[in-house]
A and B are shown apart, each in its own frame.
Chain A
Amino acid sequence: MNKTGPVNDLIHRALDVAQQGGAGYVDVRVVERQTESLTVKNGALQEAGANLSSGFGVRALVDGAWGFSGSARLEPDEVERVAREAVAIARASALAQRDPIQLDDSPPVVASYNTPYVEDPFVVPLDEKLRILMEADAAMARVPGVNVRSSSMEFGREEKIFVSSEGARIEQDLVEVGAGIETSAANESEVQRRSFPQSAGGQHVTGGFEAIRALKLAEHGEQLAEEAVALLTAPQCPSGRMTVIIGSSQLALQVHESCGHPIELDRVLGMEASFAGTSFLTLDKLDRLQYGSPIVNIDADATVPGGLGTFGFDDEGVPAQNVPIVEAGRFVGYLTSRETAPVIGRRSMGSSRASGWNVIPLIRMTNVNLRPGSAGTLEDLIADTRDGIYMASNHSWSIDDRRLNFQFGTEIGWLIKDGRLGQMVKNPTYTGITPEFWGSCDAICGESEWNLWGLPNCGKGEPMQTHRVGHGAAPARFRNVQVGVGQW
């Protein structure tokens, strides 16, 4: 995207038209997002696609009410039409308005940010990408009994300009990569799936193709396939209350659902009530609620290198930050925006993000990370556990509309007996209530087991925006958890 010349004239034309129409505040985002995806399925290139989407959005605050319009056509007439439409929509919003919206006093910034990377994923030849996927596919194919094999890669580059009527101007160039492999085996009554490094498309990070090479997909293909086949004849996960050790990527999703979403302040304030729900972390809980055990510490960190929720500035122009969410088990912070932060007497911590040019920024997770603990390696933690179950790699997830009652299923589990992993079990599930569950956490593995996972498919808002967020976690142990849910 050419960030100089005519595009700037058009941006300022949009600002002028909206302000002349009565907007007290206006921002304009011009975004170009390029993506590429490859999937090899059962030894054949199933899909190879490239997408380019570009456009601009104008957000106008008129008499304390919001209006937004966006268009793919960055042309003089369209820019003026869209700016006028944003103002007209804001005036319509005022027809059902209570108190006027006021933004916090975050200072306008003029700056730029680029994702650091070594190897540009968009210049790596297709042949090289296919070679990596085909090798992983071949590794899985060596195991008799698997019926579906899939290997995939995704790349994204988002170039954007943010300009506000307050004087902000920010340019960003964000680069993301992701890859993973998955295989399943089936018999008459079961389908069992295993995936690496995690389910739902694998691992995703901000960075370059070097992160894809580091995954060494092919080295994991054979074991993955063997586990999928073995699960077909493994016994069903037992049912009852027991000690559970949760693997790193599954715990990342647990953080996402039971911490990341309920700390979104717009959700807390009821703005998502008609779609995704509300939050049990109501304003009276801030700085008071014991969210988890004293070893539970969680941050929202948009600055951590490589995180899928890492950037320079959010889509309101607020710099990326690292803020505490849970300190020694106590709930101390929310994800906020310029509109919502004043409600708790704070300034935005920079988590207002739009998934594209055509939608408004909403409060989204950045990288909501469970800090590592002192329980050493996963091996150490298992050795320290007399009876229990180890569950790894997400299979299913569900949580209620206040983010209290959850149920997760994982792809695989192993019973733990006298400090050793024993019998493999299939269809493991566990359920609980968020603060009770995190309150039962008595051990978290250390730095060496901590991994920053990327989730490329977090949905929120109407129209729904699918966004890219990150979660760091190390395996952790929870006591007295209900496992093996339902009739099997």
Chain B
Amino acid sequence: MVATHWDRAAIESLVGRSLAEVREGEAEVLFTARDAALTRFANSRIHQNVAEHDATIRVRVVDEGRTGVASTNRTDADGLRDVAARAVAICRRATPNPGGAPLSGPLPSNAPPDLGFADATSRSDPEMRAAGARSVIVAGDAAGLETSGAFSTETAMLAVANSRGMWNSHSVTQAKLLTVMMDGNGASGYAQATGTDVRAIDATAVGEEAADKALRSRDAEDLEPGSYPVILEEYAVATILEYLSWMGFSALAVEEGRSFMELGRQVMGTNASIWDDGLDPSGLPTAIDFEGVPKRRVDLIIDGVARAVVHDTVTAQRAGVQSTGHGLPAPNAFGPMAWNLFMAPGSSSKDAMLGGIKRGVWVTRLHYVNIVHAKRGILTGMTKDGTFLIEDGRITRPIRNLRFSQSIPEAFSEIEAIGAGTRLVAAEYSGITARVPALRIAHFGFTGATAAEQAE
């Protein structure tokens, strides 16, 4: 697949023509485009194989405190004229909102033009993805496991211009390969590799990691729910950070009193440091947000102290600060979002983390996590694809998946060891990515367990 439709000149021309269609008030034009492909496999064969090419123009018109937004994926002259007219029509009839999102003036991005972009990813083809899928399937077959997963590649383009002179654009790529392997009797293993450059994804290694975990998960037994020390592998930690972002890293969540982030206060242990950095090439970087504002690193929690939250132009205006570059596309009642999360590594190996645990739980990843109480940071969810009992400092047997219900700030106040290495993990349901270490936590609350296979 080749991303041929939109080079920089074509985007500039389109955005310029779109902006010129708005003849009253001030206007912002947001251009987004995706050339995406995904090869999905299950039961050790490819069962879905898809490609998608789309581009959207979103026009925001602001006039005397009133705002109207309209978008379209019709990028011909009629489409541009129509979308501008619809945005103006909504704006005319809207009621004024003094707290509405202001338009920014020029805010040049200093990010390197090739940040987050790999030509190999943008030019990947279905044969390459099929070969990757086949490598994973071979690893599963060798272990006698049923293999499922997905191999995706994507080129995403983003440009923002407005009538105050804002112009910023950025193109990024992402490749992701994930697999779940199962033995048909409850054992399963998971692995994921993600990054900007598809050439860095080692499909065989992904397959072997999942196969190893699935084979070690066979013949799982029950464990009585309760509070246990845990080792959370990177996949599990990344999911927790994703939900911390949903719950509390946004300035709007703090404004509305629903965040666990009490700025200036100790909210986690002194060994916990979490930040957002959209410019770090070791994550999945993006130079600008959907308002065109260049991204800035935000130190969210440093040494356990809540230091800052992320802003868009609306929350920044209310707080009297600059946007940190975390705005979502208008119209947006959700507020800003921290997308590029990092957690500081420590110095432990995973083997070393096991030492001293009398009876605990090893968690590979989490499933279907949801927020029970945002203010206290309480999450619930299940363990998945490799849950093991730790006894006397070593893994002794696989256990059936457990349900946890746990305040994360409380759990992260009891981090006993932090992995020396980090792993980049892409969230399942959102675009959030997190580069995180594994953690050992003194107490983690498990409140239930899944059932064995049901009898008829």
- Residues of A near any B CB (own CB < 8 A): 37, 39, 41, 44-55, 65-73, 82, 85-86, 88-90, 92-98, 101, 125-127, 130, 134, 147-148, 150, 152, 184, 186, 189-191, 269-275, 277-278, 280, 284-285, 288-290, 358-360, 395-402, 404-405, 407, 409, 427, 429, 431, 433, 435, 459, 462-464, 482, 485-487
Contacts and interface: CB of A to CB of B under 8 A. Distances in A.
A485 B447 CA distance: 7
A359 B52 contact: yes
Given A89-B50, A96-B45, A464 B429 contact: yes
Contacts of B90: 48-50, 126
Nearest to B262: A188
A414 B329 CA distance: 40
Contacts of B378: 486
B130 interface: yes
A109 B124 CA distance: 38
B204 interface: no
Contact of B150 (A92, A93, A275, A395): A275
A368 B438 CA distance: 41
Contact of B52 (A51, A52, A70): A70
Contacts of B381: 398
B126 A288 contact: no
Nearest to A74: B74
Contact of A92 (B70, B83, B130, B137): B130
Contact of A358 (B54, B126, B454): B54
Contacts of A273: 42, 146, 148, 180, 182
Contact of B448 (A68, A92, A431, A464): A431
Given A66-B48, A186-B257, A52 B74 contact: yes
B152 interface: yes
A407 B403 CA distance: 9
A333 B64 CA distance: 57
Contacts of B401: 400-401, 405
B146 A270 contact: yes
A55 B101 CA distance: 31
A397 B37 CA distance: 31
B131 A95 contact: yes
A274 B152 CA distance: 13
B313 interface: no
A362 to B, nearest CB: 8
A274 B180 contact: yes
Contacts of B301: none
Contact of A49 (B70, B127, B152): B70
A48 B258 contact: no
Of B94, B445, B453, most A-chain CB atoms within 10 Å? B94
A53 B73 contact: yes
A263 to B, nearest CB: 14
Interface string B375-410: 110101110100000000000000001010111000
Which 9 residue pairs of A and B lie closest in terms of their CB atoms, listed nearest first? A47-B331, A486-B405, A186-B257, A92-B126, A273-B148, A274-B148, A44-B97, A49-B69, A126-B93
A435 B36 CA distance: 40
B320 to A, nearest CB: 19
A90 B49 contact: yes
A191 B434 CA distance: 27
B258 A97 contact: no
Given A271-B42, A274-B179, A359-B50, A404 B454 contact: yes
B19 to A, nearest CB: 18
A46 B333 contact: yes
A71 B50 CA distance: 11
A211 B453 CA distance: 43
Given A273-B182, A275-B428, A435-B454, A92 B370 contact: no
A271 B43 contact: yes
B94 A397 contact: no
Given A68-B50, A97-B46, A190-B375, A44 B370 contact: no
B99 interface: yes
A189 B375 contact: yes
B380 A92 contact: no
Contacts of B182: 270, 273, 278
Interface string B239-258: 00000000000000000111
Nearest to B403: A405
Interface in B83-137: 83, 86-87, 90, 93-100, 125-127, 129-131, 133-134, 137
A93 B49 contact: yes
A89 B451 contact: no
Main SS of chain B's interface residues?
A: strand
A400 B367 contact: yes
B148 A270 contact: yes
Contact of B94 (A48, A95, A277, A278): A48
Contacts of B51: 68-70, 85-86, 89
Of B38, B134, B406, B454, most A-chain CB atoms within 10 Å? B454
B456 interface: yes
B87 to A, nearest CB: 8
A424 B95 CA distance: 38
A125 B401 CA distance: 52
B46 A93 contact: yes
A298 to B, nearest CB: 17
A257 B42 CA distance: 22
B321 interface: no
Contacts of A407: 380, 403, 405, 447-448
Nearest to A50: B70
Interface string B4-45: 000000000000000000000000000000001111111111
B183 to A, nearest CB: 12
Interface in B123-176: 125-127, 129-131, 133-134, 137, 146, 148-150, 152
B373 interface: yes
A65 B133 CA distance: 15
Given A50-B90, A65-B46, A96-B45, A485 B405 contact: yes
B340 interface: no
A285 B456 CA distance: 7
A190 B130 CA distance: 50
Contacts of A66: 46-49
A186 B49 contact: no
Contact of B95 (A130, A190, A277): A130
A396 B48 CA distance: 31
Given A359-B50, A433-B451, 19 more contacts: A48-B69, A50-B87, A52-B83, A54-B73, A72-B53, A92-B39, A96-B41, A101-B47, A189-B375, A270-B182, A273-B180, A273-B182, A274-B149, A280-B453, A399-B382, A400-B403, A427-B373, A431-B447, A462-B152
B76 to A, nearest CB: 9
B193 interface: no
Interface in B415-456: 428-429, 445, 447-451, 453-454, 456
B257 A485 contact: no
Contacts of B83: 52
A1 to B, nearest CB: 11
B55 interface: yes
Given A274-B178, A288-B456, A67 B67 contact: no
Contacts of A464: 429
Contact of B382 (A134, A360, A401): A401
A359 B384 CA distance: 28
28 contacts: A39-B331, A47-B67, A48-B94, A49-B71, A50-B86, A52-B70, A66-B48, A70-B53, A71-B54, A86-B51, A95-B131, A96-B45, A96-B130, A96-B133, A147-B257, A148-B256, A272-B42, A273-B146, A273-B180, A274-B180, A358-B54, A398-B382, A400-B401, A405-B448, A405-B450, A407-B403, A409-B372, A482-B448
Nearest to A33: B73
A95 B372 CA distance: 45
Contacts of A44: 95-100
